[in-house]
């Protein structure tokens, strides 16, 4: 039986949250979070395509007291998980929910058999860089001019995922 991870000490006590798979009905709110979070937000069509046509895509929603507070997406290909996007709604920032969400994404990726996770992040996003380093990610390279809004480079980061709880190992 799949069990929820322990509440990280960084998450405020009394905060009622849950994770669930993203559904098409969530796309309007997800697009609002995209607008709050990114210079070049994904469109509703892009999310719809991910949810309906991409067999590798897994998207999670983080709810706080029944309200969508954030979401994260990844592609699970073989033993690798590639984070496509992670965002927390502006009014929920500062509560360590990004860490909570990323830990759940790492856990979920491991359950699907991933042993590594990768992502790209702007070098100017110091908060995200610090979080990813805290979660075991290390910088392995740079994608020059990756971000189309300002041609900013992307830092490529990788992390090894813990073995415990993998579905493949339980067969």
Residues designated as active site: 120, 132
DSSP state string for 97-141: HHHHHHHHHHHHHHHTT--EEEEEE-TT-HHHHHHHHHTT-EEEE
135 close to 99: Cβ distance less than 8 angstroms: yes
Q: Which of 107, 119, 104, 62 is nearest to 87 (CA)?
A: 62
Among 119, 123, 126, which residue's Cα sits nearest to residue 105? Answer: 119
């Amino acid at each position: 039986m799949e069990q929820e991870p322990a509440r990280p000490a960084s998450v405020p006590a009394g905060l009622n949250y849950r994770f669930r798979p993203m559904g098409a009905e969530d796309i309007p709110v997800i697009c609002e979070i995209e607008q709050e979070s990114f210079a070049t937000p994904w469109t509703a069509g892009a999310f719809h395509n991910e949810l309906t046509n991409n067999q590798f895509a897994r998207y999670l929603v983080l709810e706080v007291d029944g309200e969508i507070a954030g979401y994260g997406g990844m592609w699970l290909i073989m033993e690798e998980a590639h984070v496509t996007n992670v965002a927390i709604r502006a009014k929920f920032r500062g509560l360590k929910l990004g860490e909570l969400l990323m830990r759940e994404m790492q856990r979920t990726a491991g359950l699907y058999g991933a042993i590594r996770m990768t992502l790209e992040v702007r070098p100017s996003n110091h908060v995200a860089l610090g979080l990813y380093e805290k979660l075991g990610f290390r910088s392995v390279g740079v994608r020059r001019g990756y971000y189309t809004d300002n041609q900013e480079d992307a830092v490529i980061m990788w992390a090894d995922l813990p073995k415990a709880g993998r579905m493949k190992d339980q067969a």
